[in-house]
Structures are given as structure tokens and as C-alpha cells.
């Protein structure tokens, strides 16, 4: 037979342990946001992609955008999440190494997609959902001339257009941070050869390539 006193003592201990665990934040840990930065691969035209040819909100001109998803697989809302540029490096083909570049972009926030002027650069990401930020774009200036790759930071852009990267291979070091999540660092490589065969076609993605996000830097 079971001893009632033993059962009562066991339940008391279990209750005390649970109370201590909850006091130490077990509930918050179980129901915490779980945020990651992702980039979907190239998909068929009838499916949603993170590579979009569309019109710029500010100018109405055609541009090709690469977008990142702030994905929350957790059980609570991630509050005021932002994607911050930590550093930019350019690949030197002659030296075969990354060279530090564009310090004007250090600390700048990437702009949420379809953002209107005056809206914040941070996002609330609900459980089991994602929000999109613009990473880089080509075009949107002189029609027919794709020009540089623009790092899509929020306004104002630097007066010297430091976010306009000439054709080549670039590495962006990014930090995903927020009020109730652990900050996490990612590396993304953006390569552009300067060509855009047709403004409204998918051919741009053979010339504008993005690799990552990854937890470690890599060579091109």
C-alpha cells in the first residue's frame, strides 16, 4: 500500500520545485520567442519569393529587391525586433581576402519592407509568423541603368551614398536584436556583376546573387 504521508510529502516537494522554477523564469523560457533570420530560395513564379521585382514606393521606378524574413517559431511575440548592420566588407580579388569598407553603415538598421515614411524600423513578430525586411536592391534610378547595389537601410541615407555598393562581392555582418530576444549575428554575401538584361524579367537573379544568412563568415 502507498503511504499517504509519503505521497503528500512528494507533492509538496514537487510544488515547491515548480514554484521556484516559475519564479526563476521557467514560464518565460518555455513561452519565449524563438527568432531567426532566413532567406527563401528562388521559387516558381506562382509562389511567394524573397526576390521581388517591383516599383519603389518613393520613386515609382522598377527595382529588384532581396528581402529577409524575421521568423518567430516561439510561443510569444518578439517585441521591437530590428536587423542592424554591424560591418561591411568587400572582397578583394587580387589579395583574395575581405577588406573592411563603408563604416558609414555601421549600426544602421535595415528597413522593413513596404515601409512608409515615418514608420519605425523595428517590428513586432507574432508567434508562428514572420515579418520582412529589405536587404538590398538594384535599379530604381535611371531606367535601363541598374547602377549599384543599394543596402536598404532606413532613412536618411548617407549624404555620400555609402549604401550604394558598386558591382562586386560584398559581405554584410548583421545583428538581429529586440526587447525580449537574445541578439544573434549573421553573415550574408551579396554579389552583383552590373548587368540587368530586362527590367521586368527574372533574368536579374542570374546577376544579383545572395548567399546566407549563415552563422559564420565564408569566402566567395
pLDDT, tens only, 6-29: 555 555 555 554 454 445 454 454
Stated pTM of the model: 0.81
Find cell 569598407 and name the residue: 101
Q: What is the pLDDT of residue 220?
A: 76
Q: Are 168 and 193 in contact (CB under 8 A)?
A: no
- Cα dihedral 53→87→116→57 (10° resolution): -30
Q: Are 195 and 207 in contact (CB under 8 A)?
A: yes
Q: What angle do CA 199, 202, 204 make, to 5 degrees?
A: 65
How many contiguous H segments (helices) and E segments (strands) does the chain have?
2, 12
Q: Please tell me which of 6-10, 43-47, 80-84 the model is most confident about, judged by mean pLDDT.
A: 80-84
Q: Is the peptide bond before 59 cis (omega within 30 degrees of 0)?
A: no
The CA radius of gyration of the chain, in Å to the nearest whole number, is 23
pLDDT, tens only, 144-190: 555 799 999 988 889 999 999 999 999 999 999 999 999 999 999 99
Number of other CB atoms surrounding residue 99 within 10 Å: 11
Average pLDDT, stretch 94-100? 93
Helix (H) or strand (E) holding 83: strand 78-92
Average pLDDT, stretch 27-48? 70
Distance of alpha carbon 138 from alpha carbon 151, whole angstroms: 9
DSSP 119-149: --S-EEE-TTEEEEEEEEEEESSSTT---SE
pLDDT, tens only, 57-78: 777 788 889 999 999 999 899 9
How would residue 128 be classed by pLDDT, with cut points 50, 70 and 90?
very high
Length of the chain: 220
Number of other CB atoms surrounding residue 140 within 10 Å: 20
Q: 126, 134, 129: which is closest to 180 by C-alpha?
A: 126
Distance of alpha carbon 177 from alpha carbon 174, whole angstroms: 10
Amino acid at each position: 500500500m502507498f503511504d499517504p504521508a509519503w505521497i503528500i510529502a512528494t507533492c509538496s516537494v514537487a510544488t515547491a520545485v515548480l514554484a521556484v522554477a516559475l519564479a526563476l523564469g521557467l514560464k518565460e523560457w518555455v513561452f519565449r520567442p524563438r527568432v531567426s533570420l532566413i532567406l527563401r530560395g528562388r521559387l516558381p513564379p506562382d509562389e511567394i519569393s524573397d526576390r521581388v521585382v517591383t516599383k519603389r514606393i518613393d520613386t515609382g521606378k522598377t527595382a529588384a529587391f532581396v528581402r529577409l524574413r524575421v521568423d518567430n517559431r516561439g510561443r510569444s511575440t518578439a517585441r521591437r525586433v530590428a536587423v542592424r548592420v554591424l560591418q561591411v566588407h568587400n572582397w578583394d580579388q587580387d589579395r583574395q581576402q575581405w577588406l573592411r569598407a563603408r563604416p558609414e553603415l555601421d549600426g544602421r538598421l535595415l528597413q522593413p519592407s513596404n515601409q512608409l515614411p515615418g514608420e519605425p524600423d523595428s517590428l513586432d513578430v507574432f508567434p508562428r509568423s514572420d515579418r520582412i525586411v529589405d536587404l538590398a536592391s538594384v535599379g530604381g534610378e535611371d531606367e535601363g541603368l541598374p547602377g549599384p547595389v543599394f543596402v536598404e537601410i532606413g532613412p536618411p541615407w548617407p549624404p555620400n551614398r555609402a549604401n550604394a555598393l558598386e558591382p562586386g562581392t560584398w559581405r554584410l555582418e548583421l545583428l538581429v536584436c529586440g526587447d525580449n530576444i537574445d541578439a544573434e549575428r549573421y553573415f550574408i554575401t551579396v554579389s552583383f556583376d552590373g548587368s540587368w538584361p530586362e527590367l521586368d524579367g527574372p533574368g536579374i537573379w542570374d546577376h544579383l546573387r545572395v548567399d546566407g544568412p549563415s552563422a559564420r563568415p565564408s569566402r566567395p
